[in-house]
Structure 1
């Protein structure tokens, strides 16, 4: 059938990813620095993303396309964006008159629950100087992670746990080598994790650049192992910062020794 559906002019797309966060249905994804339609059945054709595009790359066209499938879209959003994404989807559905009942079921079978987005801020620590301890002691034996997922492949640009926070780019081995990672580095930061040696890093620069285009992120901290192969993680971040077009970002690197020693932070240009 012919219906309204999104059209993307890649020659105009600058990879800002604003349309991706604006699309409640999760129909758009950043691929090689350009917005792409994930599946036609995820696009409802109402064009809520159009007003977010600063370059005019998005338009609505009428062409042959399968019907918008709300049930499959809901499963897709649940897997990619979790409960926060479902709430955004329901709001859009109510606005446009689409079906919107949302009763998540533990046995619904709609994808891997390990990929659902979660953001659970920790309670603020007490400020009484008489009982205050350093960050590592304060968090001894306690996780400071406030989000899920953490893998670079799985996180989405525009996720709420990135907004207004420094971005921590953490090598996979670092939290195994040092017991102080949570208290000293994870606390209060948005976190992504990757291994530059064993991961398929194609797309890492694009993904990190899309995240860093959010100007509420004040800086990037790379925490990696001191071994040479791990240095590529810093190179990936440097390339992502350049691609993001941000000149105001503070970028630092901390190396972790094989014995767990935390080296002095250094500024990365």
Structure 2
């Protein structure tokens, strides 16, 4: 039944898809769809606007309009469905018959002694061997209890950062890296996984390497919130990559050279 009531309105022109509103909507009424925050259904929004103050772009406001009545039962079912969706699923088999999410740990030689790798056709000659020490690297595929996470120094990078930062790979020696897109990935499943990692893996420290563009701030927000929810004292630092490929200061600037 429709009625005139208060409900959240999202200005898609202002929204940059950072996702900071999602964890602050207790009803699970908001989702990132095609890079923009959108209401899943009117009946899931209580109209109280708890998400408003967390939008850095001012894209959210409460208005009055005709909408379906707020439905607590629908909210309960939606939250249960979201919780179920966060549970790990078996990795799909690829066409070649090998699951792409199988975990591997590679024994890498020390960076200084790493031999050069041959150049691939169309690519510049590599100056050293890869410093990647594990597989997979997509955050959505890495289990929260992956063995290579135990006691690790972790780099959580936006998908674009390794492309923009020229020597990204050479900075990885001994670190676990995971990549995700804060604009096009759904951040809600990541939150539970990151909280579990912070609580159970005994991480030494975490660095967030993100792009300078506004939508990328969502990755920093997600990791910092997960650390806070986990109740641990694992340090989390932010490093920012410009579109010109320069590494600039986020938080804890004085440690940048030693840590990444």
**For the superposition of Structure 1 and Structure 2, which TM-score range results when normalised by the shorter chain?**
0.5 to 0.7
Determine the structure 1 residue equivalent to 2:102.
116
Mapped to 2, the partners of 1:179 and 1:206 lie a distance apart of: 32
Residue 142 of structure 1 pairs with residue 136 of structure 2: no
Change in CA separation of 1:203 and 1:223 when aligned onto 2, cut-off 3 Å:
same
Q: TM-score, normalised by structure 1?
A: 0.52
Mapped to 2, the partners of 1:205 and 1:250 lie a distance apart of: 17
Mapped to 1, the partners of 2:249 and 2:95 lie a distance apart of: 48
Residue 151 of structure 1 pairs with residue 138 of structure 2: yes
1:263 partner SS: strand
Aligned mate of 1:234, from 199, 206, 220: 220
Aligned mate of 1:259, from 220, 241, 244: 244
Instruction: Note if contact 2:111-2:131 (Cα within 8 Å) is conserved in structure 1.
Output: no
- Equivalences for 1:41-60 in 2 at 5 Å? none
Mapped to 2, the partners of 1:216 and 1:179 lie a distance apart of: 30
Aligned residues: 159
Q: How far is the alpha carbon of 1:251 from its aligned partner?
A: 0.9
Change in CA separation of 1:161 and 1:253 when aligned onto 2, cut-off 3 Å:
same
Instruction: Note if contact 1:33-1:206 (Cα within 8 Å) is conserved in structure 2.
Output: no
Residue 216 of structure 1 pairs with residue 202 of structure 2: yes
Instruction: Note if contact 1:32-1:206 (Cα within 8 Å) is conserved in structure 2.
Output: no
Q: Which one scores higher on RCO, CA 8 angstroms, separation ≥ 6?
A: 2
Mapped to 1, the partners of 2:237 and 2:230 lie a distance apart of: 17
2:248 partner SS: coil
Query: Unpaired runs of 5+ in structure 1?
Result: 1-30, 39-75, 81-105, 128-138
Change in CA separation of 1:253 and 1:115 when aligned onto 2, cut-off 3 Å:
same
Q: How far is the alpha carbon of 1:216 from its aligned partner?
A: 2.5
Instruction: Note if contact 1:256-1:262 (Cα within 8 Å) is conserved in structure 2.
Output: yes
Residue 201 of structure 1 pairs with residue 187 of structure 2: yes
- After superposition, the C-alpha distances for 1:177-221 in whole angstroms (9 at most, x for unaligned) are 01111112x221112110100112221111111111135211110
- After superposition, the C-alpha distances for 1:74-127 in whole angstroms (9 at most, x for unaligned) are xx5xx59xxxxxxxxxxxxxxxxxxxxxxxxx9994xx4212111113123459
- After superposition, the C-alpha distances for 1:32-88 in whole angstroms (9 at most, x for unaligned) are 4999697xxxxxxxxxxxxxxxxxxxxxxxxxxxxxxxxxxxxx5xx59xxxxxxxx
Q: TM-score, normalised by structure 2?
A: 0.54
Determine the structure 2 residue equivalent to 1:161.
148
Residue 187 of structure 1 pairs with residue 173 of structure 2: yes
- CA RMSD of superposed structures (Å): 3.1
Query: Unpaired runs of 5+ in structure 2?
Result: 1-81, 114-125, 254-260
Moved over 4 A (4+): 33-38, 106-109
2:129 partner SS: coil
